[in-house]
Amino acid sequence: MTQQPRAARIGLLQISVAGVLWGTGGLVVQLVRETTPMSVLTISAYRMLIAAVVLLAAAVALRRLPDVRRLLRERPGLAVAVGLATATYQALYFASVVAVGVTVATVVSLGLAPVLLTVGEAVHARRRPDTARLLVLVAALSGLLLVSSTAGLGSTGPHPVLGVLAAIGSGTAYALTTTMGRPLAQTTSPLALTTTTTAVGAVALVPLGLLSGLDGLGGSPLVSSDPGVLALLLYLGVMTMALAYGLLYAGLRTTTGSAAVIATLLEPVTAAVMAALLLDERLGAPGIAGTALILLAVAGLGRAIPGDPPLVPPQDLPQDRIATPERQ
Protein backbone atom coordinates (compact mmCIF):
# COMPACT_ATOMS: atom_id res chain seq x y z
CA MET A 1 0.00 0.00 0.00
CA THR A 2 2.86 2.35 0.74
CA GLN A 3 4.66 1.74 -2.54
CA GLN A 4 1.88 3.04 -4.79
CA PRO A 5 1.41 6.44 -3.05
CA ARG A 6 5.16 6.88 -2.99
CA ALA A 7 5.44 6.06 -6.70
CA ALA A 8 2.63 8.51 -7.45
CA ARG A 9 4.39 11.27 -5.51
CA ILE A 10 7.62 10.59 -7.38
CA GLY A 11 5.74 10.68 -10.70
CA LEU A 12 4.13 13.99 -9.78
CA LEU A 13 7.54 15.41 -8.89
CA GLN A 14 8.97 14.25 -12.22
CA ILE A 15 6.20 15.97 -14.19
CA SER A 16 6.53 19.12 -12.07
CA VAL A 17 10.25 19.36 -12.84
CA ALA A 18 9.46 18.86 -16.53
CA GLY A 19 6.99 21.75 -16.37
CA VAL A 20 9.56 24.05 -14.81
CA LEU A 21 12.13 23.12 -17.46
CA TRP A 22 9.66 23.79 -20.29
CA GLY A 23 8.86 27.16 -18.74
CA THR A 24 12.47 28.25 -19.20
CA GLY A 25 12.60 27.35 -22.92
CA GLY A 26 11.03 30.52 -24.32
CA LEU A 27 13.33 32.74 -22.29
CA VAL A 28 16.40 30.86 -23.50
CA VAL A 29 15.28 31.35 -27.12
CA GLN A 30 15.02 35.09 -26.51
CA LEU A 31 18.49 35.17 -24.97
CA VAL A 32 19.98 33.29 -27.93
CA ARG A 33 18.44 35.73 -30.40
CA GLU A 34 19.70 38.74 -28.45
CA THR A 35 23.23 37.56 -29.23
CA THR A 36 22.82 36.07 -32.70
CA PRO A 37 19.76 36.41 -35.00
CA MET A 38 19.18 32.70 -35.50
CA SER A 39 15.77 31.80 -36.88
CA VAL A 40 13.38 29.92 -34.66
CA LEU A 41 13.57 26.98 -37.07
CA THR A 42 17.34 26.82 -36.65
CA ILE A 43 17.05 26.99 -32.87
CA SER A 44 14.34 24.32 -32.85
CA ALA A 45 16.48 22.11 -35.09
CA TYR A 46 19.45 22.48 -32.74
CA ARG A 47 17.25 21.65 -29.76
CA MET A 48 15.89 18.47 -31.32
CA LEU A 49 19.23 17.38 -32.78
CA ILE A 50 21.15 17.84 -29.53
CA ALA A 51 18.43 16.01 -27.62
CA ALA A 52 18.39 13.17 -30.15
CA VAL A 53 22.17 12.72 -29.91
CA VAL A 54 22.06 12.69 -26.11
CA LEU A 55 19.17 10.24 -26.00
CA LEU A 56 20.71 7.92 -28.60
CA ALA A 57 23.94 7.92 -26.62
CA ALA A 58 21.97 7.00 -23.50
CA ALA A 59 20.17 4.22 -25.37
CA VAL A 60 23.51 2.83 -26.59
CA ALA A 61 25.08 3.07 -23.14
CA LEU A 62 22.11 1.29 -21.55
CA ARG A 63 21.91 -1.23 -24.44
CA ARG A 64 18.31 -0.26 -25.22
CA LEU A 65 18.52 0.37 -28.95
CA PRO A 66 16.58 -2.90 -29.52
CA ASP A 67 13.67 -1.27 -27.67
CA VAL A 68 13.75 1.67 -30.09
CA ARG A 69 13.88 -0.67 -33.09
CA ARG A 70 11.00 -2.69 -31.67
CA LEU A 71 8.87 0.42 -31.29
CA LEU A 72 9.56 1.49 -34.86
CA ARG A 73 8.81 -2.00 -36.12
CA GLU A 74 5.55 -2.45 -34.17
CA ARG A 75 4.10 1.09 -34.30
CA PRO A 76 6.02 2.95 -37.05
CA GLY A 77 3.19 5.20 -38.25
CA LEU A 78 2.15 6.36 -34.81
CA ALA A 79 5.73 6.87 -33.62
CA VAL A 80 6.57 9.00 -36.67
CA ALA A 81 3.32 10.98 -36.32
CA VAL A 82 4.08 11.80 -32.67
CA GLY A 83 7.62 12.88 -33.57
CA LEU A 84 6.40 15.13 -36.39
CA ALA A 85 3.69 16.66 -34.21
CA THR A 86 6.25 17.30 -31.47
CA ALA A 87 8.53 19.10 -33.91
CA THR A 88 5.59 21.13 -35.25
CA TYR A 89 4.32 22.44 -31.95
CA GLN A 90 7.81 23.27 -30.70
CA ALA A 91 8.71 25.23 -33.84
CA LEU A 92 5.40 27.11 -33.71
CA TYR A 93 5.88 27.85 -30.03
CA PHE A 94 9.31 29.38 -30.57
CA ALA A 95 7.96 31.38 -33.50
CA SER A 96 5.23 32.68 -31.20
CA VAL A 97 7.78 33.60 -28.52
CA VAL A 98 9.71 35.74 -30.99
CA ALA A 99 6.57 37.35 -32.41
CA VAL A 100 4.51 38.04 -29.30
CA GLY A 101 6.62 37.35 -26.20
CA VAL A 102 7.23 34.52 -23.75
CA THR A 103 4.22 34.98 -21.51
CA VAL A 104 1.50 35.19 -24.18
CA ALA A 105 3.04 32.38 -26.24
CA THR A 106 3.26 30.02 -23.29
CA VAL A 107 -0.10 30.76 -21.71
CA VAL A 108 -2.08 30.62 -24.98
CA SER A 109 -0.41 27.45 -26.29
CA LEU A 110 -0.57 25.60 -22.98
CA GLY A 111 -4.06 26.84 -22.11
CA LEU A 112 -5.55 25.89 -25.47
CA ALA A 113 -4.35 22.28 -25.51
CA PRO A 114 -6.47 20.97 -22.60
CA VAL A 115 -9.52 22.77 -23.97
CA LEU A 116 -9.12 21.02 -27.32
CA LEU A 117 -8.57 17.70 -25.59
CA THR A 118 -11.78 18.13 -23.60
CA VAL A 119 -13.76 18.90 -26.76
CA GLY A 120 -12.19 15.96 -28.57
CA GLU A 121 -13.02 13.59 -25.72
CA ALA A 122 -16.65 14.79 -25.73
CA VAL A 123 -16.94 14.28 -29.49
CA HIS A 124 -15.34 10.85 -29.27
CA ALA A 125 -17.67 9.81 -26.44
CA ARG A 126 -20.68 11.39 -28.21
CA ARG A 127 -21.65 12.94 -24.92
CA ARG A 128 -22.01 16.59 -23.91
CA PRO A 129 -19.46 17.65 -21.28
CA ASP A 130 -20.91 18.04 -17.80
CA THR A 131 -21.42 21.43 -16.16
CA ALA A 132 -18.02 21.46 -14.50
CA ARG A 133 -16.23 20.87 -17.78
CA LEU A 134 -18.30 23.54 -19.54
CA LEU A 135 -17.39 26.07 -16.84
CA VAL A 136 -13.74 25.17 -17.36
CA LEU A 137 -14.06 25.71 -21.11
CA VAL A 138 -15.77 29.10 -20.68
CA ALA A 139 -13.08 30.26 -18.26
CA ALA A 140 -10.26 29.09 -20.54
CA LEU A 141 -11.70 30.70 -23.67
CA SER A 142 -12.34 33.96 -21.80
CA GLY A 143 -8.77 33.95 -20.59
CA LEU A 144 -7.46 33.31 -24.09
CA LEU A 145 -9.43 36.28 -25.41
CA LEU A 146 -8.14 38.58 -22.66
CA VAL A 147 -4.52 37.55 -23.15
CA SER A 148 -4.81 37.81 -26.94
CA SER A 149 -6.40 41.28 -26.71
CA THR A 150 -3.30 42.64 -24.99
CA ALA A 151 -0.81 41.05 -27.40
CA GLY A 152 -0.28 44.30 -29.31
CA LEU A 153 0.44 46.41 -26.25
CA GLY A 154 3.65 47.25 -24.42
CA SER A 155 6.66 44.98 -24.86
CA THR A 156 4.82 41.79 -25.72
CA GLY A 157 6.39 41.41 -29.18
CA PRO A 158 6.68 42.94 -32.67
CA HIS A 159 4.06 40.78 -34.45
CA PRO A 160 1.21 40.14 -31.99
CA VAL A 161 -1.36 38.74 -34.40
CA LEU A 162 1.04 36.27 -36.01
CA GLY A 163 2.37 35.39 -32.58
CA VAL A 164 -1.06 34.53 -31.20
CA LEU A 165 -1.89 32.49 -34.33
CA ALA A 166 1.39 30.58 -33.97
CA ALA A 167 0.59 29.93 -30.30
CA ILE A 168 -2.84 28.60 -31.25
CA GLY A 169 -1.23 26.32 -33.84
CA SER A 170 1.29 25.17 -31.23
CA GLY A 171 -1.45 24.36 -28.73
CA THR A 172 -3.37 22.44 -31.39
CA ALA A 173 -0.31 20.41 -32.37
CA TYR A 174 0.42 19.74 -28.69
CA ALA A 175 -3.10 18.40 -28.18
CA LEU A 176 -2.63 16.07 -31.17
CA THR A 177 0.73 14.95 -29.80
CA THR A 178 -0.84 14.09 -26.45
CA THR A 179 -3.72 12.22 -28.06
CA MET A 180 -1.52 10.19 -30.39
CA GLY A 181 1.19 9.63 -27.82
CA ARG A 182 -1.06 8.16 -25.15
CA PRO A 183 -1.20 4.64 -26.67
CA LEU A 184 2.59 4.65 -27.02
CA ALA A 185 3.10 5.78 -23.43
CA GLN A 186 1.02 2.81 -22.29
CA THR A 187 3.35 0.25 -23.90
CA THR A 188 6.71 1.97 -24.26
CA SER A 189 9.42 2.89 -21.78
CA PRO A 190 10.24 6.60 -21.37
CA LEU A 191 13.74 6.24 -22.85
CA ALA A 192 12.61 4.37 -25.96
CA LEU A 193 9.64 6.66 -26.59
CA THR A 194 11.56 9.89 -26.03
CA THR A 195 14.50 8.74 -28.15
CA THR A 196 12.30 7.66 -31.05
CA THR A 197 10.04 10.70 -31.22
CA THR A 198 12.93 13.11 -30.72
CA ALA A 199 14.97 11.49 -33.49
CA VAL A 200 11.98 11.73 -35.85
CA GLY A 201 11.52 15.39 -34.93
CA ALA A 202 15.19 16.09 -35.55
CA VAL A 203 15.05 14.49 -39.00
CA ALA A 204 12.11 16.75 -39.83
CA LEU A 205 13.48 20.00 -38.40
CA VAL A 206 17.16 19.91 -39.36
CA PRO A 207 16.55 20.36 -43.14
CA LEU A 208 14.18 23.25 -42.39
CA GLY A 209 16.73 24.80 -40.08
CA LEU A 210 19.35 24.61 -42.82
CA LEU A 211 16.98 26.14 -45.37
CA SER A 212 16.29 29.08 -43.08
CA GLY A 213 19.94 30.05 -43.40
CA LEU A 214 19.85 30.36 -47.19
CA ASP A 215 19.69 33.77 -48.84
CA GLY A 216 16.16 34.58 -49.87
CA LEU A 217 14.72 32.22 -47.25
CA GLY A 218 15.64 34.21 -44.17
CA GLY A 219 19.41 34.20 -44.33
CA SER A 220 19.78 33.68 -40.59
CA PRO A 221 23.11 32.43 -39.20
CA LEU A 222 23.39 28.69 -38.82
CA VAL A 223 26.29 28.61 -36.36
CA SER A 224 27.71 30.77 -33.62
CA SER A 225 31.14 30.98 -32.06
CA ASP A 226 29.79 32.67 -28.95
CA PRO A 227 30.26 30.27 -26.00
CA GLY A 228 27.18 31.69 -24.29
CA VAL A 229 24.98 30.85 -27.28
CA LEU A 230 26.44 27.36 -27.48
CA ALA A 231 25.75 26.82 -23.80
CA LEU A 232 22.16 28.01 -24.19
CA LEU A 233 21.56 25.70 -27.17
CA LEU A 234 23.01 22.82 -25.18
CA TYR A 235 20.68 23.68 -22.32
CA LEU A 236 17.69 23.72 -24.67
CA GLY A 237 18.51 20.29 -26.06
CA VAL A 238 19.57 18.50 -22.90
CA MET A 239 17.37 20.06 -20.22
CA THR A 240 14.18 21.28 -21.92
CA MET A 241 13.96 18.40 -24.41
CA ALA A 242 15.81 15.20 -23.52
CA LEU A 243 15.47 15.43 -19.74
CA ALA A 244 12.07 17.13 -19.62
CA TYR A 245 10.33 14.68 -21.95
CA GLY A 246 12.00 11.73 -20.29
CA LEU A 247 10.63 12.96 -16.95
CA LEU A 248 7.18 13.46 -18.46
CA TYR A 249 6.91 9.94 -19.83
CA ALA A 250 8.37 8.48 -16.65
CA GLY A 251 5.92 10.40 -14.49
CA LEU A 252 2.90 9.37 -16.54
CA ARG A 253 3.50 5.74 -15.61
CA THR A 254 2.48 6.31 -11.98
CA THR A 255 0.61 9.63 -11.93
CA THR A 256 -3.02 10.17 -12.92
CA GLY A 257 -3.82 12.31 -15.94
CA SER A 258 -5.54 15.00 -13.84
CA ALA A 259 -2.53 15.32 -11.53
CA ALA A 260 -0.24 15.60 -14.55
CA VAL A 261 -2.32 18.47 -15.98
CA ILE A 262 -2.10 20.37 -12.71
CA ALA A 263 1.64 19.75 -12.42
CA THR A 264 2.33 21.19 -15.88
CA LEU A 265 0.86 24.51 -14.69
CA LEU A 266 4.38 25.16 -13.48
CA GLU A 267 5.35 25.82 -17.11
CA PRO A 268 3.38 29.07 -17.66
CA VAL A 269 4.01 30.15 -14.08
CA THR A 270 7.76 29.72 -14.58
CA ALA A 271 7.68 31.47 -17.95
CA ALA A 272 5.64 34.41 -16.66
CA VAL A 273 7.84 34.94 -13.60
CA MET A 274 11.10 34.72 -15.56
CA ALA A 275 9.79 36.95 -18.36
CA ALA A 276 8.74 39.60 -15.84
CA LEU A 277 12.04 39.45 -13.97
CA LEU A 278 14.47 39.19 -16.88
CA LEU A 279 12.69 40.48 -20.00
CA ASP A 280 10.55 43.20 -18.42
CA GLU A 281 7.42 41.90 -20.14
CA ARG A 282 4.15 43.45 -18.98
CA LEU A 283 0.67 42.26 -19.91
CA GLY A 284 -1.42 44.86 -18.12
CA ALA A 285 -4.58 44.22 -16.11
CA PRO A 286 -6.55 42.37 -18.85
CA GLY A 287 -3.59 40.13 -19.60
CA ILE A 288 -3.03 39.35 -15.95
CA ALA A 289 -6.72 38.54 -15.53
CA GLY A 290 -6.63 36.35 -18.64
CA THR A 291 -3.54 34.54 -17.40
CA ALA A 292 -5.23 33.86 -14.07
CA LEU A 293 -8.37 32.58 -15.81
CA ILE A 294 -6.39 30.17 -18.00
CA LEU A 295 -4.42 28.82 -15.07
CA LEU A 296 -7.62 28.37 -13.05
CA ALA A 297 -9.29 26.71 -16.05
CA VAL A 298 -6.48 24.19 -16.55
CA ALA A 299 -6.47 23.43 -12.82
CA GLY A 300 -10.26 23.13 -12.89
CA LEU A 301 -10.01 20.78 -15.87
CA GLY A 302 -7.86 18.48 -13.78
CA ARG A 303 -10.43 18.53 -10.96
CA ALA A 304 -13.43 18.18 -13.28
CA ILE A 305 -12.18 14.97 -14.85
CA PRO A 306 -12.41 12.02 -12.47
CA GLY A 307 -9.03 10.68 -11.49
CA ASP A 308 -8.00 7.95 -13.87
CA PRO A 309 -5.57 5.20 -12.94
CA PRO A 310 -1.94 5.38 -13.99
CA LEU A 311 -1.37 4.55 -17.64
CA VAL A 312 0.60 1.44 -16.81
CA PRO A 313 1.23 -0.08 -13.37
CA PRO A 314 4.89 0.50 -12.50
CA GLN A 315 5.57 -3.17 -11.95
CA ASP A 316 4.46 -3.85 -15.55
CA LEU A 317 6.72 -1.28 -17.18
CA PRO A 318 10.38 -1.24 -16.15
CA GLN A 319 12.27 1.98 -16.79
CA ASP A 320 14.26 0.65 -19.70
CA ARG A 321 12.08 -1.94 -21.38
CA ILE A 322 9.01 -1.93 -23.58
CA ALA A 323 6.00 -3.53 -21.95
CA THR A 324 4.46 -5.86 -24.51
CA PRO A 325 0.66 -6.28 -24.66
CA GLU A 326 0.99 -9.72 -23.07
CA ARG A 327 2.41 -8.10 -19.95
CA GLN A 328 -0.44 -5.59 -19.48
Find out whether 129 and 137 touch, Cβ atoms under 8 Å: yes
Q: Report pLDDT digits (tens) over 26-52.
A: 788 888 988 888 888 888 889 999 999
Q: Report pLDDT digits (tens) over 96-131.
A: 877 887 778 877 887 787 778 777 777 777 777 777
Find out whether 305 and 129 touch, Cβ atoms under 8 Å: no
Q: What is the pTM of this model?
A: 0.76
> Would you state the pLDDT for residue 54?
96
| Secondary structure, 3-state, the chain | CCHHHHHHHHHHHHHHHHHHHHHHHHHHHHHHHHHCCCCHHHHHHHHHHHHHHHHHHHHHHCCCHHHHHHHHHHCHHHHHHHHHHHHHHHHHHHHHHHHHCHHHHHHHHHHHHHHHHHHHHHHHHCCCCCHHHHHHHHHHHHHHHHHHHCCCCCCCCCCHHHHHHHHHHHHHHHHHHHHHHHHHHHHCCHHHHHHHHHHHHHHHHHHHHHHCCCCCCCCCCCCCCCHHHHHHHHHHHHHHHHHHHHHHHHHCCCCCHHHHHHHCCHHHHHHHHHHHHHHCCCCHHHHHHHHHHHHHHHHHHHHHCCCCCCCCCHHHCCCCCCCCHHHC
Q: Report pLDDT digits (tens) over 170-198.
A: 989 988 887 887 778 778 888 999 999 99
Which of 206-215, 222-231, 241-250, 255-264 is the least confident region? Answer: 255-264
CA distance 266 to 139: 19
> Would you state the pLDDT for residue 218?
55
Choose the most confident range, by mean pLDDT, from 88-102, 235-249, 259-273: 235-249
Average pLDDT, the chain: 78
Q: How much of the chain, in percent, has pLDDT values that exceed 90?
A: 23
> Would you state the pLDDT for residue 149?
67
User: What angle do helix axes 40-61 and 76-100 make, rounded to 10 degrees?
Assistant: 140
> Would you state the pLDDT for residue 5?
67
Q: Among 111, 113, 93, 112, which residue's Cα sits nearest to residue 102?
A: 93
Find out whether 328 and 317 touch, Cβ atoms under 8 Å: no
> Would you state the pLDDT for residue 61?
94
More confident of the two residues 238 and 36: 238
- Residue 61: CB atoms within 10 A of its CB come to 8
